[in-house]
Amino acid sequence: MSQDNQTIELQAMLDEAFAKATDFYQQRGFQRSIGFGKKPALISVDLANAWTRPGNPFTCEHMDDQIIPGMQRLLAAFRSRGFPVVHVTTAYQVTDVENPHTDMGLWHKKIPVDAVDLKNEDIWAIDSRIAPIEGEQVLLKKCASSFQGTYLANFLRSSGVDTILVTGVTASACVRTTVCDGIAEGFRPIIVKECVGDRIPGAVAWNLFDMDAKFGDVESLDTCIEYLMTVDNK
């Protein structure tokens, strides 16, 4: 069986499981809607070269055909309305795995974060196709969540933000933990369906379903753009 056919078969199995799980969740009061708020910000997680370009340990699927084009549309909408944009990336000052004082913590014992060396800007720089413009934040994180150990929550609160549109990679790790921490910090997480990726078949679909059930609302790119173009920017 080809990989494409395997992916189709996996998606069909997931769709069946999600249909059953939806009934189960809704009977127990899950899958409520948190809704859009009054002032949004875009949190673009790890759409940097190490994740968006081929040939890296962290390279993710569907960048060229889905995620980058979707991000270009979303960024255009945010910029046209003047709402805050935060580009998040990950890099480390000390990538020697034998150094006990590395800023990688223990994460390098599980995944090759030592590949993302702060000295090599090309690897952790935001993808040039969705490059930050003047006035947009570029936030460097060390952990999976964009909130952990960063100024993100304070920046959002001081900007009057109540809603975060979360995009990027990966659905199973950095996007998910950002969404979980976002609602814990009191923001309304909206996950933009077409702008989230991962490496393993099924990972995006499963995590989108689960996040939508518990931590935020998964909305289409078109729905998010419609919201951005109609919400007041005061």
Tokens 């080809």 belong to which residue?
2
Distances (CA, A) of 37 to 118, 138, 161, 190: 36, 24, 9, 10
Calculated CA dihedral for residues 165, 160, 186, 83, nearest 10 degrees: 0
Question: Phi-psi category of 105—alpha, beta or left, where left has phi over 0 and alpha has psi -120 to 50?
Answer: left
Question: Is the distance from CB of 207 to CB of 197 less than 8 angstroms?
Answer: no
Catalytic residues: 174
Give the separation between CA 144 and CA 110, rounded to whole angstroms: 13
**Whole-number CA gyration radius for the chain:** 18
Total residues found in the chain within this entry: 234
* Sign of the Cα pseudo-torsion (220, 196, 22, 37, in order): negative
Phi, psi of 119 (to 5 degrees): -70, -20
